[in-house]
Chains A and B, each alone.
Chain A
Amino acid sequence: MFDILIKGGSVVDGEGGTPYRADVALKDGRIAQIAPSITGEARRVVDANGAVVAPGFIDPHTHFDVQLLWDGAARPALEHGITTVVPGNCSLSLAPLKAADRPAVVGMFQQIEEMPPEAFTQAFEWTWEDFAGYRDALTPKLSVNVAPLVGHSVIRLWVMGAASQERAATVDEIRAMQDLLRECLADGAIGLSTSYVDVDAKGRPVPSRFAEFDELDALCAVLGEGGRMLQVVPEFYDTDITIARVDQLAGLSVAHGIPTTFSPLFDSRLTPHNVDRVMARVEAQFARGARVWPQMQTRPIDISFSLRRPSLFFARLPTWVRTLRLPMAERLAALQDPATVEKLVAAASADGGATLRMMADLRVRGGGEAPAHLVGLTLGEIAAERGQDTATALISVSVEHDLDVAFVAASRGHDDTDRIGPMLAHPLMHIGASDGGAHLNSFATYGDTGYLFSEFVRNSGAMTLQSAVKKITADTADIWGLKDRGRLKPGMAGDVVVFDPMTIARGDERPAFDMPGDGMRYVRDAIGIRAVMVNGEMAWTSAGYTDAHAGRICEAA
């Protein structure tokens, strides 16, 4: 008897093959059979008529390290069809970590991922120091598969203590880091992450940024013993430095026989040659045998701001900048002063109405003090209802709620579908960089896979259905060396997603108060997903999450 029998769906195998109608049977955690008509009995039958049956999606850039300790489904990632996540990116992981060093790393997670402090004090018992202990703490609760990276910053912190944020390592310290990395890889880490960008809670560079090249080279030598991944956050804000990092990663890749990946890589109309230049160098380095995979996200970038903090959003309006730079009490008083408001509105109106029209498209976000009845409305709608211009509406809504109302200017970067579609489809472009589980108070990092299908398959046709599936399943598994993942073939892991190709999408961004301590984050619900199976067990259906905890720590191929 099969555990699950998926009947009548259109099978997309993950390898780019043409979809074909077939039944799929799962048994003992694996794909047991795929055939035009399977008649055997099953404990559970899934009707997939009109739906696609595909390998579970793999998200290669997440920060679910902490959340997985109380939520083994990495909600809402799993309901979007994600069956495997890679946490531990950007040089940060929760192991190996000495008890005495926990506050320092908690500060980094709070700074970089916007994780509330209660997440570290209320949601789990901190029982481990080494990587094996962290792995064991995760494993019983997992509903998704996890391929964890170990962070360079925490390895450095373990070996060097406070000096990890002060100086280069000695030869002996580098050797100790090599031994520690080797141990972490043996205990389940899929690779190493490092960062040239991130800062801690005090604004200091994270430990990995104090490493000299010899240190990274030595660590990559250890990765080379098993052909494991190096993930890097380069200085992505500068094209020339990013290209230099591509060359550096290529050198490490060739020297040690390892794959490398860097993220993020963005497109912008203002820097229209950024991606082309970086990809030209990536192509050149692949041609000489290096593996340097750029990661690009599918979703556009929004700009969020409130009047509580100065934002460059108003950088073309000097009157606004000067007012919003005032200390909080003075700023609030100024924004309640009719004469000041008149000047601000006049400044916003001085360009013939362009700024006021731009403001009309700003949307009220949830969270903070934003009243529920305004959430989701545009300033244009609010202004019309109040009989105000949009600048006055922005100020009055903010003042009425202690300035703690966030507004979002949607799709202000990485938003040109006609440009980005071909970039995502490029054979050397790795689709990822979702940052799932991070930036909790800033924007939702979920639903990028749904957006891939809705925008780049259905709306623009930049990719076929099967090529989009391949990008986030078999390609990802191959890039990362994940054993038995990413393909819908007999014998492979029973990670399966059933979705409607005509409706799959991401839902609207909404606030959720489901973090420890009633902390807020932004999430997106899934659209068009019918069922998600992990290692042969039903993990999610349209009725919700199941009690299954079939997720595992992934094995390297």
Chain B
Amino acid sequence: MTEAVVVGAEVVAGHDGAAELLVTVRHENGVTGHTILPADVGFAVMRAAGADNLNDLAGLAWGPIIRRVTDV
């Protein structure tokens, strides 16, 4: 069984006018889904992933990132 993996991340306009983070993840079953994160969570995800740049997120396992964000 493979892990869920980040396919990519983009900055998008959020409902409240702030920049938010759209993360695209390919899940274990092969389905690709999107989720949009507010700024504070988006930064937490980048920190948890050790990513300086959005491009750094691509290819990383999603589960460990989420677990580290939750631990924070």
Task: Please give the residue numbers on chain A whose beta carbons come within 8 Å of chain B beta carbons, in ascending order.
Answer: 236-240, 264, 266, 268, 270-271, 274, 301-305, 310-313, 315-318, 321-322, 325, 409, 412-414, 439, 442-443
Contact A238/B15 with A271-B22, A312-B39, A318-B53 known, Cβ cut-off 8 Å = no
Contact A313 B11 (CB under 8 A): yes
Contact B12 A268 (CB under 8 A): yes
Contact B53 A239 (CB under 8 A): no
Return A433 CB to nearest CB of chain B, in Å: 9
Residue interface bits B1-23, CB-to-A below 8 A is 1, else 0: 00000000111111111111110
Return B33 CB to nearest CB of chain A, in Å: 6
Contact B18 A316 (CB under 8 A): no
Contact A303/B10 with A238-B35, A310-B39 known, Cβ cut-off 8 Å = no
Closest Cβ neighbor of A271 among chain B residues: B34
Contact A439 B17 (CB under 8 A): yes
Interface CB pairs A-B, < 8 A, 10: A237-B35, A301-B13, A302-B13, A303-B18, A304-B18, A305-B19, A310-B43, A315-B54, A439-B17, A442-B17
Contact B55 A316 (CB under 8 A): yes
Q: Compute how far the CA of A546 lies from the CA of B18 in the bound complex, rounded to whole angstroms.
A: 37
Q: Compute how far the CA of A472 lies from the CA of B52 in the bound complex, rounded to whole angstroms.
A: 46
Contacts of A264 in B (CB 8 A): 15
Return A265 CB to nearest CB of chain B, in Å: 11
Return B48 CB to nearest CB of chain A, in Å: 14
Closest Cβ neighbor of A266 among chain B residues: B15
Q: Compute how far the CA of A238 lies from the CA of B21 in the bound complex, rounded to whole angstroms.
A: 12
Return A416 CB to nearest CB of chain B, in Å: 12
Q: Compute how far the CA of A237 lies from the CA of B20 in the bound complex, rounded to whole angstroms.
A: 10
Contact A238 B53 (CB under 8 A): no
Contact of B17 among A237, A303, A315 (CB under 8 A): A303
Closest Cβ neighbor of B31 among chain A residues: A240
Which 6 residue pairs spanning A and B have beta carbons closest together? Answer: A413-B13, A318-B52, A237-B36, A301-B13, A412-B13, A312-B19
Contact A442 B35 (CB under 8 A): no
Contact B19 A311 (CB under 8 A): yes
Return B47 CB to nearest CB of chain A, in Å: 9
Return B29 CB to nearest CB of chain A, in Å: 13
Contact A414/B21 with A237-B36, A240-B33 known, Cβ cut-off 8 Å = no
Q: Compute how far the CA of A264 lies from the CA of B14 in the bound complex, rounded to whole angstroms.
A: 11
Q: Compute how far the CA of A268 lies from the CA of B21 in the bound complex, rounded to whole angstroms.
A: 13
Closest Cβ neighbor of A240 among chain B residues: B33
Contact A315/B13 with A238-B36, A271-B34 known, Cβ cut-off 8 Å = no
Contacts of A412 in B (CB 8 A): 12-13
Contact A443/B17 with A238-B35, A318-B53 known, Cβ cut-off 8 Å = yes
Contacts of A443 in B (CB 8 A): 17
Closest Cβ neighbor of A236 among chain B residues: B15
Contact B16 A442 (CB under 8 A): yes
Return B28 CB to nearest CB of chain A, in Å: 15
Q: Compute how far the CA of A266 lies from the CA of B53 in the bound complex, rounded to whole angstroms.
A: 26
Closest Cβ neighbor of B42 among chain A residues: A312
Closest Cβ neighbor of B33 among chain A residues: A240
Contacts of A311 in B (CB 8 A): 18-19, 39
Closest Cβ neighbor of A233 among chain B residues: B15
B49 within 8 A of A: no
B58 within 8 A of A: no
Q: Compute how far the CA of A240 lies from the CA of B25 in the bound complex, rounded to whole angstroms.
A: 13
Contact A312 B15 (CB under 8 A): no
Contacts of A240 in B (CB 8 A): 33
Contacts of A325 in B (CB 8 A): 43
Contacts of A236 in B (CB 8 A): 15
Contacts of B22 in A (CB 8 A): 268, 270-271
Q: Compute how far the CA of A536 lies from the CA of B41 in the bound complex, rounded to whole angstroms.
A: 50
Contact B12 A315 (CB under 8 A): no
Contact B11 A316 (CB under 8 A): yes
Contact A270 B39 (CB under 8 A): no
Contacts of A303 in B (CB 8 A): 11, 13-14, 17-19
Q: Compute how far the CA of A264 lies from the CA of B13 in the bound complex, rounded to whole angstroms.
A: 13
Closest Cβ neighbor of A264 among chain B residues: B15
Given A236-B15, A301-B14, A325-B43, 5 more pairs with CB closer than 8 A: A237-B36, A270-B12, A302-B13, A311-B39, A312-B43
Return B45 CB to nearest CB of chain A, in Å: 10
Q: Compute how far the CA of A322 lies from the CA of B52 in the bound complex, rounded to whole angstroms.
A: 8
Closest Cβ neighbor of A321 among chain B residues: B52
Contact of A312 among B11, B16, B17 (CB under 8 A): B11
Contacts of A321 in B (CB 8 A): 46, 52
